[in-house]
């Protein structure tokens, strides 16, 4: 990590540098967020980007069509044409890939989202409740003695659910997830380079080949699942290319698994460190939906997103010029004292509106209703077990080093024997 003592930075840029460049900032970003939140409006950082931390500013930008996404990799990202040519030679299949929906603006974004949005509505997701409950019960029955909240609950639950929804074989997630873990390094800040980029490239190729084989199977024998439906759209002359279909499946799997995993793991950690909240839920299990909202606010699974001004715009009286990049720290916005009362206090009875953890506007997370339902069911089913749970270690919990996608790395617990 970078030694910041050798740089002469103003206080806000120092706080930003801690977030972006130090292990301390990635393990606990909230002290740095508090420093950034002390300034109203946008902050123009030393690295050239604008930084938004206030809830209202982030919300306005996310909903404003004057802001959107720039292409993920363009010649402008490289100092010389030779560097771009070398990049293309080293990673030849990148140019052939379709951008994922998150990188697109209307009308292309609208076209692709429209193909899958009806599968993730609250009404459709609610119909999955019995199946999600059955998966949760199966996972909980498998817990004996020492277990890891992340690897034994937070990863398999959403992975199994999204696999069934898409039409991926039940054990397919065991193959896909290790590759996905490498791919999501590309969502970190600063972006990965050299060896990490090689790993990301190879992992993406492996996942693409896996999805290609499944598409081939569904084309030969369609089933009642989302992949079969999307293959049908493509084969009927619908506006969905093979490259777009593969990118769509990659995004849907990541969106259906990664955020849910982090919500569950971070939420479990929050309850573990706030035992009075568990007591409240024992007295009133009906409070679990609000508790999940507070888990999302308190330690959001997605901490940071980026936008580019597609044309000149104004935010908090500040002009953002066309082409300027804005970093939106959603984790900070969820701790904004001008929007949430006593924001650094974890309160499962808080009812002050939804946090920005799943974004808002046209890029609102498709999988948000599914992630919420999975977490609600899991924590409800775990309540009878809670009195028999104890941490294996008293050491502080470690978080993964990814700043953008925040999640507990591992949380080992011991389940004492006894009736459930």
Choose between 416 and 297: higher pLDDT.
297
Residue 85: band (very low, low, confident or very high) from pLDDT cuts 50, 70, 90: low
CB atoms within 10 A of CB 120: 20
Residue-level pLDDT at 8: 54
Q: Catalytic one among 365, 368, 371, 380?
A: 365
Distances (CA, A) of 313 to 127, 183, 309, 317, 319: 41, 33, 7, 10, 6
What mean pLDDT do residues 49-56 have?
95
For the question of residue 81 being annotated catalytic, the response is no
Phi, psi angle pair for 52, to nearest 5°: -115, 130
Residue-averaged pLDDT of the chain: 86
Q: Summarize pLDDT for 114-145 with one digit per residue, the tens.
A: 878 877 888 888 999 999 999 999 999 989 88
Residue 247: band (very low, low, confident or very high) from pLDDT cuts 50, 70, 90: confident
Residue-level pLDDT at 170: 82
Most confident residue range from 103-112, 163-172, 316-325: 316-325
**Closest of 375, 152, 142 to residue 268, by C-alpha:** 375
The model's pTM is 0.89
For the question of residue 260 being annotated catalytic, the response is yes
Residues 6+ apart with CB under 8 A from 109: 101, 362, 363
Tokens at 118, concatenated: 């009806």
Q: Catalytic one among 52, 58, 159, 255?
A: 255
Residue-level pLDDT at 118: 78
For the question of residue 365 being annotated catalytic, the response is yes
Mention the CATH class of domain 4-415: mainly alpha
Choose between 89 and 296: higher pLDDT.
296
What mean pLDDT do residues 145-159 have?
94
Residue-level pLDDT at 284: 96
Phi/psi region, residue 42 (left: phi>0; alpha: psi -120 to 50; beta: rest), is: beta
- Is the pLDDT at 84 greater than 50? The verdict is no
Q: Catalytic one among 260, 277, 357, 359?
A: 260
For the question of residue 258 being annotated catalytic, the response is yes
Choose between 314 and 185: higher pLDDT.
314
Choose between 328 and 87: higher pLDDT.
328
Residue-level pLDDT at 88: 56
Choose between 207 and 287: higher pLDDT.
287
Q: Quick one: which H or E segment has residue 390?
A: strand 389-391
Residue-level pLDDT at 368: 92
Q: Summarize pLDDT for 337-388 with one digit per residue, the tens.
A: 999 999 999 999 999 999 999 999 998 888 899 999 999 999 999 999 999 9
Q: Summarize pLDDT for 173-217 with one digit per residue, the tens.
A: 888 888 888 877 776 766 555 456 777 788 888 888 999 999 999
**Strand stretches in 43-128, DSSP E:** 43-44, 50-52, 67-68
Quick check: helix, strand or coil at residue 414?
A: strand
**Strand stretches in 142-239, DSSP E:** 145-148
> What's the CA gap between 157 and 382, in Å, rounded?
13
For the question of residue 381 being annotated catalytic, the response is no
Tokens at 91, concatenated: 């990673």
């Amino acid at each position: 990590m970078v030694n910041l003592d050798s740089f002469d930075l103003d206080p806000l840029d120092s706080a930003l540098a801690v977030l972006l460049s130090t292990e301390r900032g990635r393990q606990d970003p909230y002290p740095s967020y508090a420093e950034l939140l002390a300034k109203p409006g946008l902050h123009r950082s030393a690295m050239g980007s604008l930084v938004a931390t206030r809830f209202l500013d982030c919300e306005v930008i996310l909903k404003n069509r004057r802001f959107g996404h720039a292409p993920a990799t363009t010649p402008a990202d490289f100092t010389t044409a030779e560097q771009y040519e070398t990049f293309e030679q080293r990673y030849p299949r990148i140019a052939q890939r379709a951008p994922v929906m998150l990188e697109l603006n209307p009308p292309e974004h609208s076209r692709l989202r429209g193909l899958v949005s009806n599968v993730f509505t609250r009404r459709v997701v609610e119909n999955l409740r019995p199946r999600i409950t059955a998966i949760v019960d199966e996972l909980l029955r498998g817990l004996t003695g020492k277990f890891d909240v992340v690897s034994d609950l937070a990863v398999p639950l959403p992975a199994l659910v999204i696999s069934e929804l898409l039409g991926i074989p039940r054990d397919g997630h065991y193959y896909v997830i290790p590759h996905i873990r490498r791919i999501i390094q590309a969502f970190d800040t600063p972006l990965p380079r050299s060896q990490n980029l090689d790993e990301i490239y190879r992992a993406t190729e492996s996942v693409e080949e896996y999805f290609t084989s499944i598409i081939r199977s569904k084309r030969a024998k369609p089933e009642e699942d989302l992949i079969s439906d999307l293959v049908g759209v493509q084969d009927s002359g619908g506006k969905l290319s093979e490259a777009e279909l593969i990118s769509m499946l990659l995004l849907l799997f990541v969106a259906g698994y990664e955020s849910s995993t982090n919500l569950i793991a971070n939420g479990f950690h929050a309850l573990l460190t706030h035992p009075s909240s568990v007591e409240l839920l024992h007295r009133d299990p009906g409070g679990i939906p609000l508790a999940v909202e507070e888990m999302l606010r308190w330690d959001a699974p997605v901490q940071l997103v980026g936008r580019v001004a597609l044309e000149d715009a104004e935010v908090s009286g500040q002009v953002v010029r066309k082409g300027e990049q804005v970093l939106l720290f959603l984790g900070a916005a969820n701790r904004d004292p001008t929007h949430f009362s006593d924001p650094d206090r974890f309160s499962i009875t808080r009812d002050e509106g939804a946090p920005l953890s799943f974004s808002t506007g046209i890029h609102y997370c498709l999988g948000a209703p599914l992630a919420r339902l999975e977490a609600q069911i899991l924590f409800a089913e775990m309540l009878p077990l809670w009195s028999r749970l104890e941490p294996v270690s008293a050491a502080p919990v470690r978080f993964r080093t990814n700043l953008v996608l925040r999640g507990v790395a591992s949380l080992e617990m011991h389940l004492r024997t006894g009736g459930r």
